[in-house]
Chain A
């Protein structure tokens, strides 16, 4: 069965302090690895899709990378508005449902 594990569960950063979030996945045939941002009481908001090892994608202060077993979400010089829960999800080549990790709660203090 497909599995996604995220670490750390929670991360507290000072504004401007760069860091990385980890997503380990086990999937029978990866179609895509997805990153979402979720604010409290709201639905997940799509950030990136990565398809193959070595691929990288960037959006503002966020950069996602993919290896054969892990994905990283690098946050460069974060701002308080980057505070949210970041969710990682895998999609396999079969049914193609999204399997989510439990997320990393990020808090960026000014």
Chain B
């Protein structure tokens, strides 16, 4: 157990729907990062939050949004889902904006859009 908790583990939904993925970082970690992993593109950075504030965006679609709450858990919202959004979504956390130990990853949420 890495200490980063992601729920749900699996999610199957239809095109056009909206889903919310949840992440609880390791105790004491202020930074949360979201990554998307698909078969053909590897791990792609989506967005970074530090202590409740958005710090950077990567290749995140406008249909996707995220937030980090006062208790430091984070949610990634995916709307108007398309078949191509099917992927593994990982959350990672670190103690600050950058860590010499990289990030600690959760076990991911597997999203299947049908």
Binding site for A on B (CB under 8 A): 2, 4, 33, 35, 41-43, 45, 48, 55-56, 58, 88, 90, 92, 97-98, 100-108, 110
- Report the minimal beta-carbon distance from B93 to chain A, rounded to whole angstroms: 11
Most buried by A among B98, B100, B106: B98
Query: B27 to nearest A CB, angstroms?
Result: 17
Name which residue of chain A comes closest to B4, CB basis.
A43
CA distance A46 to B90 in the complex (A): 14
A46–B58 touching, CB < 8 Å: no
B45 engages A42 (CB within 8 Å): no
Q: Establish whether residues B106 and A49, one from each chain, have CB atoms under 8 Å apart when the complex forms.
A: no
**Bound CA span A34–B101, Å:** 8
Please measure, in the bound complex, the distance between the C-alpha atom of A44 and the C-alpha atom of B42, giving whole angstroms: 12
Identify which of A34, A46, A102 gathers the most chain B CB atoms within 10 Å of its CB: A46
Extra contacts besides A46-B104, A49-B101, A103-B42 (12): CB < 8 Å? A31-B98, A32-B100, A36-B105, A41-B107, A41-B110, A43-B90, A44-B43, A49-B100, A89-B102, A95-B48, A100-B35, A101-B42
Q: In the complex, are the beta carbons of B98 and A91 less than 8 A apart?
A: yes
A101's nearest neighbour on chain B, judged by CB, is B42
> In the bound complex, do residue A43 and residue B2 qualify as a contact, i.e. CB atoms below 8 Å apart?
yes
Chain A residues with a Cβ under 8 A of chain B: 31-32, 34, 36, 41-46, 49, 51, 87, 89, 91, 95-103
Contact of A96 with B98 in the complex, beta carbons under 8 Å = yes
- CB contacts (< 8 Å) of A34 on chain B: these are 102
Residue among A51, A96, A101, A103 with max Cβ neighbours from chain B (10 Å): A96
Residues of B within 8 A of A89 (CB): 43, 102
CB < 8 Å neighbour of A100 from B2, B42, B88: B42
Query: Contact partner of A102 among B42, B100, B102, B103, CB < 8 A?
Result: B42
